[in-house]
Structure 1
Amino acid sequence: MAHWNTDRAGGHAGDGRSRMVRAGKELWRRFEERFGSVAQFVLFMFFANAITVVQLVLMPILKWVFGKTSLVDIPVQALPIGGSGDHVVYMFDYAAGHVDADGLGGGLAYFLAVQITLFIGQVLDFFAQRNITFRSNTSIRVAAFWYAIAYILITVAAAALQVAYKAPVYSLMQNWFGQVRGQSVADVVTMLINSTIAFWVFYLVFKVIFKRVPEGDEDAASRDETPRPAPASRS
């Protein structure tokens, strides 16, 4: 008898959760119908922030793992953009050796940690935003092509901006938190700056490349390789 009562109580709890889920879905559906563009931006912001958290966790792990290898002794210094005397300023500046007080160095180990983290984050963001936020039903290959171009341009632009702010950020964080902890905090700050830049730029990019066409027109749209602004989701 007690066993029957337990099962019955569990059934009631399950029914209550199901009703809450259905009520939540219905509430969101009504919100979408009334405020389509706002709902779309809320979803975009949710996934972008969730993926930023993943990146903030992943990058220090990869940096630590790669930092234990000989990759740290392989320099990655590309795209010189200026200099003073014998000192050359590179857009991508990862000199051989461990990261110094200005946030420079780290070699190929640090470069891979940053780029792999960004790449994984952008792949996750691409599919989440395409399938859930914008509900695009046009060619995924065309969207991926334009997304890749945007990703390369944004990566280069973000690297150029780092030339201006990276050293001051690392210096400030180490003054506040000490050398070891300060470098870790500075890593997080620079990742947040990169994520913020990507957040706003990619929202505009997604509005263009993630189109949704009426049912039955998907084949025609998939053959159109010139992205145009997507229509508002619901208004």
Structure 2
Amino acid sequence: MNFWNNFAAKHPAAAKWVREGGLFVIVSNLITLFKYLLLQFLPKAFASLPVVDFGWPGIDITLFGETFKWNILGYDAAHGGLPYFCAYMVAMVIGECINFPIQRNFVFRSKGSLARQIGWYLLAFCLITCIVNSINCIWVAVAGLLVPDFIYNIGTTVLNGGISMVIFFFVNKIIFPEGEAAK
């Protein structure tokens, strides 16, 4: 504890980055684990929906002998289609509704405009979801051929959580700028 206090006194800006970065990683990983657990059960809640291609732009791609539809948003029928997309989005939205207030209030200690921060966070969530889903679409199609299910599920969770976490950290540094955070 003495080491940290000395470090924080000598390097306050670095200490703030270490504190925020460390807490951000811990909270983000816990939220990612929560989303993973939701995705173990939520697809059953949407099982009554038709398993149809649901995505955009739906470009046919073949990798490692597997042909699938590449989507920026959504999944083809072979990889869950509409029911999985609904479950995925519900898990992501619930996770972010928990993540935002924890990151804002506890990690970044922000006192800025809540409405503005929610707007930026929502925009970032939409962009990040599209980026991650476009990568995940390839992983879902190809990894299912190459690795056992439990590794595939771990990989999907790490891919979704890891990419989102890195992007959200830097977005949060913009959303919760220095002038709005508690010192």
Is TM (by shorter chain) over 0.5?
Answer: yes
TM-fit CA distance, 1:79: 1.6
What is the RMSD computed on CA atoms of the aligned residues? 2.8
* Corresponding residue of 2:173: 207
Match of 2:94 among 92, 117, 120: 120
Indicate whether 1:134 and 2:108 are aligned.
yes
Q: Distance in 2 between matches of 1:76 and 1:51?
A: 26
Q: Which amino acid is 2:75 matched to?
A: Y
Amino acid of the structure 2 residue aligned with 1:172: L
Change (3 A) 1:212 1:108: same
Whole-angstrom CA distance in 1 between matches of 2:123 and 2:42: 25
- 1:94-173 → structure 2 map (5 Å cutoff): 94-96=75-77, 104-173=78-147
Select which of 73, 79, 89 maps to 2:51.
73
Gaps of 5+ in 2: 10-14
Rg (Cα) greater in structure: 1
Matches within 5 A, 1:46-85: 46-67=26-47, 70-81=48-59, 83=61
What are structure 1's unaligned runs of at least 5 residues?
Answer: 1-25, 97-103, 175-181, 214-220, 222-229
Aligned-residue offset at 1:63: 1.5
**Does the 8 Å CA contact 1:71/1:107 hold for their aligned counterparts?**
no
Q: CA deviation at 1:117?
A: 0.8
- The percentage of aligned residue pairs carrying the same residue is 27
SS in 1 for 2:147: helix
Counting matched residue pairs gives 173
Query: Are 1:90 and 2:70 counterparts?
Result: yes
Deviation track 1:134-188 (CA, whole Å, cap 9, x = no partner) reads 11101011011111111111111112212433222111224xxxxxxx2x54233
Q: Equivalent residue for 2:12? A: none
* TM-score normalized by the length of structure 2: 0.80
CA drift of 1:60 comes to 1.0
Q: Distance in 2 between matches of 1:133 and 1:44?
A: 6
Deviation (angstroms), 1:42: 1.1
Q: Which amino acid aligns with 2:92?
A: L
Distance in 1 of aligned mates of 2:152 and 2:7: 38
Specify whether residues 93 and 169 from structure 1 end up closer, same or farther in structure 2 by C-alpha distance, changes over 3 A only. same
Deviation of residue 32 (structure 1)? Answer: 8.5
Q: Name the counterpart of 2:156.
A: 190
Query: Does the 8 A contact of 1:137 with 1:212 survive in 2?
Result: no
Compute the displacement of 1:83 (Å): 5.0
Q: Following the alignment from structure 1 to structure 2, what is the Cα–Cα distance between the partners of residues 185 and 83?
A: 23
**Preserved CA contact (<8 Å) 2:136 2:159:** no
1:16 aligned partner: none
1:80 counterpart letter in structure 2: G
TM-score normalised to structure 1 length: 0.64
Q: How far off its partner does 1:130 sit?
A: 0.4
Secondary structure of the 1:71 match is coil
Given that residues 72 and 106 in structure 1 are in contact (C-alpha distance below 8 angstroms), is that contact kept between their aligned partners in structure 2? Answer: no
